[in-house]
């Protein structure tokens, strides 16, 4: 079983081309490549797909925030929903960061990768998780 997995594993891993990534990698942004692979005619559908997913996530977050404000209109917003809304808001930053980082994947800058992907995903996910936990605690 391990031999089967060890043969497949190299195809599942994306290894950066340079072991010493740059501090800022935005200069490597290129619409013709995606995660280091040449796109050819797929560059526009890929770009529109990423833009669509980012815009839809932003619009959904906007309406979730508006709904939460309307629902708790004059009452105090509970701790659980506050965590969830803050987590969604922070995760929007990660969605926007995916646009840039996937296009410069072989040479992502440490700043873009951490400030736009890793930290917002981790922080947003943790806040949503805490919010869900507090929501569970409210009903039990």
Is the pTM of the predicted complex or chain greater than 0.75?
no
- Per-domain boundaries in the chain: 22-139
pLDDT digits (tens, 9 = 90+) for 28-64: 778 888 877 888 898 899 889 888 988 898 898 889 8
Quick one: tokens of 136? Answer: 């569970």
pLDDT in tens, 93-107: 888 877 777 776 667
Rg (CA), the chain: 19
Alpha-carbon torsion, ordered 47, 51, 57, 63, to 10 deg: -160
**Token pair for 28:** 């490597």
| DSSP 3-state percent helix, strand, coil across the chain (nearest 5) | 70, 5, 25
């Amino acid at each position: 079983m391990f031999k089967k997995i060890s043969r497949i594993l190299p195809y599942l891993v994306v290894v950066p081309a340079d072991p010493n990534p740059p501090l800022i990698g935005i200069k490597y942004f290129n619409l013709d490549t995606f995660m280091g692979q040449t796109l050819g005619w797929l560059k526009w559908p890929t770009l529109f797909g990423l833009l669509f997913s980012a815009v839809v996530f932003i619009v959904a977050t906007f309406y979730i925030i508006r709904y939460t404000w309307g629902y708790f209109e004059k009452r105090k917003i509970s701790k659980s929903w506050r965590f969830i809304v803050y987590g969604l808001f922070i995760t929007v930053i990660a969605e926007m960061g995916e646009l840039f980082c996937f296009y410069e994947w072989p040479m992502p800058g440490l700043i873009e990768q951490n400030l736009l992907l890793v930290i917002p995903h981790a922080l947003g996910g943790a806040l949503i998780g805490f919010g869900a936990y507090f929501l569970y605690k409210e009903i039990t």
